[in-house]
Structure 1
Amino acid sequence: MTTTAQAPRFGVNYTPSAGWFHHWLDFDLDAVRADFDSIAALGLDHVRVFPLWPLFQPNRALIRPRAVEQLTALVDAAGERGLDVAVDGLQGHLSSFDFLPSWTRTWHRRNLFTDPEVLDGQAAYLRTLAGALRERPNFLGMTLGNEINQFSGAPHPDPDRVTPAEVEAWLRRMLAACERGAPGRLHLHASYDAAWYLDEHPFTPWHSARLGAATAVHSWVFNGTAQRYGAHSTATTQHAAYLVELSKAWADDPARPVWLQEVGAPAPHITAEDAARFTGATVEAVLDCPDLWGVTWWCSHDVDRSLADFPELEYGLGLLTTDGTVKPAGARLAEAAAEARRGWQPPEPRGTAVVVATGDEVTSPRRALCGPGGPVYEAFMRLAEAGARPTTVLAERAEDRAHLAARGITEVVHPSDVRSLQPSPARNGACRHAR
């Protein structure tokens, strides 16, 4: 069966099998090639990679040429194996560790989002990385940084305070720097779910859904979802699909692409024995979301247990072990990718929309109602459990006939009209924040 629409992309966040992201200190291109061979063997088509900002720009006026050369060599190695590459810039934050250059901390403490000199340095760095890759046909584009919104407020122990207006100015400038370096590529930014669920967080849904070439969502069910509803619940397996559809409430473009840029099966909330089932169910749910750009699993390889101080769940999130053995979740994702590419049929529009009333649509001060346990979340999941295919719409647009028609919405429901879910007995886990 032939179709005119392309199937969503399937890829993985690349975690080097040896040395984790510290591999940039002892860069071994042969080891990278071997990792990419194991990723390509799964039938995936792209990787997201993470230069460590302090290693690439150790001084505000020094972007190390050798580090940039190593990044371009990595991108070329991926291309030789049929893999496209998305590059994150300001790392930033990875798996509970912060990586910030010394010229922003302690004696040189300056706000990451508002200090003029820091902004000049960040923009130069992003422009340099993008410019170095602009001629590579397999370079997808830049993400400004991994969940960099976690630096802007609680629960970070030393946040760089910023307002939503200052966030917008920062995002626009950094995205413009990427565009100058490599015009026309997929440049975007990515937040962890505080942007969607945390009241008055300075990075807002409006920022995610309006700025950049696509909307990125990161879906982690250890944010209270699996704890509250249970691993096998609709509320857990549909969490990623929910975030994709929640983002559309704020988008101006009815066909704006949404990238599920991170999703994984974290133990103990999802057991190792259950990871393949969770992977398949999550992907099946999200593939029923119109305008999905792609699914990028976290992560490619497990973290070597010789490395200390990671949260326990981080060690086993890979699709492959450190020696390249495919784990059950990896085999299931490979199978799902192959299934999706065979005779892909784009999903029909989702006709039932749950009303989202978070206050002002730009700053959305009341976002907790969208999170696990909140009325929007529970209404969406109850509808999904009943066999509906729900989406969301802002209260400000709930009676805008042109907007509803453009999205294929034929029914609007308020959360109060939908019966609440009954929480699982295992509801008292700690909520996750940023990774």
Structure 2
Amino acid sequence: MSQKQLRLAMFLFPGYHLGAWRLPNAIPEIDLGIDHLVRAAQLAETAKLDAIFFEDQAAVRRSNDILNGDSYGAANPRSIHFDPMVVLPALAMATTHLGLAATSTATFNEPYNLARRFSSIDFISKGRVGWNLVTSFNEDEAQNFGLDTHLQHADRYERASEFVDVVTGLWDGWHADAIVRDKESGVYFDVSKMRFLQHDGKHFKVRGPLTTGRSPQGRPVIFQAGSSEPGRVLAARTADVVFTLQSDMAKARAFRDDIRRRAVEFGRSPDKIKILVGMTPIVGDTDDDARALARQMMDLIPEDMAISNLIPLSGGFDFRQHDLHGPMPDLPESNAGKSHRAAIMSVARRNGFSILETARYFAEGSYLKMVGAPQSIADTMQAWLEADACDGFLAVPTHFPTGVEDFTGRVVPELQRRGIFRTEYTGTKLREHLGVELEGEMAGR
């Protein structure tokens, strides 16, 4: 029996598989249905998962194309979803242990507002919140925030690096025992245990402090998914958890080794940064049943939607100008997310996929596909863990409720039976679940 323990989060993004929402038993209304989201979170907590995770994009996909009269495949179900910052407090009140993580961009936010929101939710959840730091890759978002075009990739990461320093500085602005509420003396908080950040940098000027005191975890957990060179540097310096699109075990191990090495260079313990590989579980009673379900869902993906979905991931490359049944051309550099472009090229080249086959692969979601019976999927997950290719997985079910139920109720129990995932929570905070407790001076404040 393996002594290693998986870290497991579940990514809930309605319509992530562009065909599964059309299944007869699927409930697509989870996109704007809080009762369905609560049910999914409770299933995740029953399975003892570390966290449930929400993506966010503040724009309808391909808005500019639709505005300009090109609606080819643009009615993407991934466009419809709540602002996750509104969802997390509701889920905090319906769960007791499950971590609650959400994406919030450093490109279209201000650090004080973001730090305050996540600190507030950390109090509401009693120490269970996480922030997924992104710089945004969707060009359509820019026009919703006063910009004509997206900031350049390098500029986004420069801003993000300063952004996260301001956010963590604000989170560190109070000692844990600063708020005393002493009725006898009339002292509400000890001003000597509060500090003004007084940040004055290239992008931000922020005095501080926050109005919430020091949050229950000290700092909310920081997640990140960048795989470009500046993304890796930022992750190694600041992140507690790194998501990755790796679909090859050897490359995933090299990625993990690289992030851990870089973390050491920043004076961090490599064991305090966890690498989670994104995976899409498609579960059946047998491997053949699972493959049949995968084909059924694939057949429900409209061709035009698959191609349309790939366009923004590639940085705006118009695949319609090429033979869709021909090989994937070399994609030019763009201002979009570097990790998606690299993943598209890797998947197409490794599998010999045509443009359309590649588009259908990503229409199922960007992550590694694990198709099989619960035992087969657990075999693969255990093999990756024992090969040091990851510390765990970000599971992305294809649809609700069956996809969520199959992973939490069938795959996870098999992992528990093997002794590589917990059967009970041993802590109450997200940092404890993940094994990324604060170190050094910050742990003692």
Instruction: Report the TM-score when normalising by structure 1.
Output: 0.46
Q: Give 1 or 2 for the bigger CA radius of gyration.
A: 2
